[in-house]
Amino acid sequence: MNNSAKYFFRSLVLVAFLFCALSCSNDSDKELAEVAKVSLRDVGHRLLLLNQDSTSLVKPVIALENLKFQLSFEETISIHPDTLVNTIKKSFEKAGLPEHYLTEVKQCEDGEVAYSYEIKQNVENDIVPCGGRQLPKACYVISVRFTKTQVAKNDNLKYLYILIFVALLVSAIVFYKRKHRASNLTNNENYAEIGSYQFYPNENKLVKKAIETSLSKKECELLEILVANPNQIVKREELEKRVWEDNGVFVGRSLDTYISKLRKKLQDDDSIKITNVHGVGYKLEILKN
């Protein structure tokens, strides 16, 4: 494997690695969501027990957008802010959840926020108002949204991975196209100069000043023989044998017909002439400047 191929292969491997890392990050978010749901159900269970309620249900925890989760209850409940703060904190610490989150307690009846607070990992930065005022028994919905967390960092990494992924993919495509183009140019150097023409026998074409002229298979085979013997007579028998022998069918005037076609396709260059040596064969004459 040459260096270019190795570089291209390594780029693809790196792209695949970043894609995998991005997928793993998505899996991490899903895992956090599942853990958060279990932890909040534990919070709901403890709050019910503090209300001397061991029979009513904690409704399924709902995952909302942007890592926000909603906890609700089957029956009405009384909530003491200090108890709520400590219960959520202990449950989250036990579950290993992020330490930055915003909690809101909303009234079911009108959706108004009855109580809210924000935890920012460092105690001095926490915003926990009205800790001693207990909320009366009513229907409440508790929502928790994780804010500046490791998850947020993971989101930033996602965007970085995506940018790197796109950049590497574009680079790999551009690199491959350049190598492919260079390869084509290298292959296209396999031509013969005939006056102002470039003759590509492998591609059945003539090129003059970027203008391509297509050749039939027979025309190409005949011209290839003549080019290999410039300014020399090539006998009719040799041309007929080498071009038509494998086909098993040959019409007497076929050679002359194809020579005539070649002359027309080379007529734009006066320095090239296919001469008929009567009774012998043909000669490709190339006049030197």
Domain positions in the chain: 3-152, 192-286
Would you put residue 210 in left (φ > 0), alpha (ψ -120 to 50) or beta?
Answer: left
More confident residue, 253 or 44: 44
| Residue listed under structure tokens 């693809």 | 12
Sheet order of strands, 211-214 included: 192-194, 197-200, 205-208, 211-214
1-15, 88-102, 108-122, 185-199: the lowest-pLDDT one: 1-15
pLDDT at 260 over 90: yes
- In 3D, which of 244, 227, 226 has the Cα closest to residue 235? 226
Q: How many helices (H) and strands (E) does the chain have?
A: 6, 14
130-134, 191-195, 216-220: the lowest-pLDDT one: 130-134
4-18, 86-100, 188-202: the lowest-pLDDT one: 4-18
Q: What is the pLDDT of residue 12?
A: 58
Q: What is the pLDDT of residue 253?
A: 73
Q: What is the CA radius of gyration of the chain?
A: 41
59-68, 121-130, 189-198, 213-222: the lowest-pLDDT one: 121-130
Taking residues 17-22, what's their average pLDDT?
55
Q: Do the Cβ atoms of 284 and 231 come closer than 8 Å? A: yes
pLDDT confidence band for 44 (50 / 70 / 90): very high
Most confident option among 140-154, 179-193, 195-209: 195-209
Fold of 192-286: Arc Repressor Mutant, subunit A (1.10.10)
pLDDT confidence band for 185 (50 / 70 / 90): very low
pLDDT tens digits, 135-159:
999 999 999 999 865 544 555 566 6
Would you put residue 66 in left (φ > 0), alpha (ψ -120 to 50) or beta?
Answer: left
Q: What is the pLDDT of residue 59?
A: 94
Q: What is the pLDDT of residue 165?
A: 76
Taking residues 274-286, what's their average pLDDT?
92
Collapsing DSSP states into helix, strand and coil, what is residue 149?
Answer: coil
Q: What is the pLDDT of residue 186?
A: 43
Tell me the whole-structure pTM to 2 decimals: 0.46
pLDDT at 160 over 90: no
Would you put residue 272 in left (φ > 0), alpha (ψ -120 to 50) or beta?
Answer: beta
CB atoms near residue 25 (< 10 Å): 15
Q: What is the pLDDT of residue 243?
A: 87
